[in-house]
Amino acid sequence: TAAEALGGAGFDAVVVDLQHGSATLDGLAHVGRAIDTTPAVPFVRTAANDPTELMRVLDLGVRGVICPMIGSRDEAESFVRACRYPPEGDRSYRPIRGARGSVRDHVDRANPDMILFAMIETAEGLADVERIAQTPGLDGLFVGPTDLGFSLGLERPGDLADPALSTPIDTVLDAAVRADLFGGIHAPDPVRAADMAARGFRFISCAVDTDLLVRGAADALRTVRPSG
């Protein structure tokens, strides 16, 4: 229900978070169907860079993948190979949902239709970001600011207003721009998301369903019971 509501609200994509969210792989087909009733593109953030999971989520009809903890060019190449059909990759054929006609029609349409983001959220990934950005078949780099901040030993991990995090963020964005990739990032609130858009990011996680519910409930409660 939440996925369908968000997809109908005007967002370009709805991301099902299998890494830290409450959604599970078992329920992904149902959530994907809900998103498919809206104009939004169904995305998944996988739990890991695991070919078995990557192929499974794609077989369930997902059209965009954000893969966490990409720390090297080799890891980025493994991610892409699992998501692209031959000759571009090693993905095995057997779509459960979202088949696009015949086998050949599906493969010909699925490869260019898939959107793949590598998450840069470790010191290792940041150090190799230029080579990661040059990975054939990759569509974007996505900054995970909290984990990146932790990995770099920052005092305020995830704080997009922290100057110490600003340079690493710019490093990732610059690498994406030079490689003609989408620059993506998670922002903790709409104000910071707008700041990231002005900065040049083109794919921004700007709202989380549970956060929206909590804020909306708190606002309603303050209006009805202003004295607390």
Q: Which two tokens stand for residue 117?
A: 């983001």
Of these residues, 20, 30, 106, 186, which one is catalytic?
20
Told to judge if 20 belongs to the known catalytic residues of this protein, a careful annotator would answer: yes
The DSSP secondary structure of 15-48, one letter per residue, reads EEESSSSS--GGGHHHHHHHHHTSSSEEEEE-SS
Coil, strand, or helix at residue 94?
A: coil
Give me the sign of the Cα torsion angle 82, 51, 27, 95. Answer: positive
Query: Nearest to residue 117, comparing CAs of 158, 55, 151, 66?
Result: 66
Active-site residue list: 20
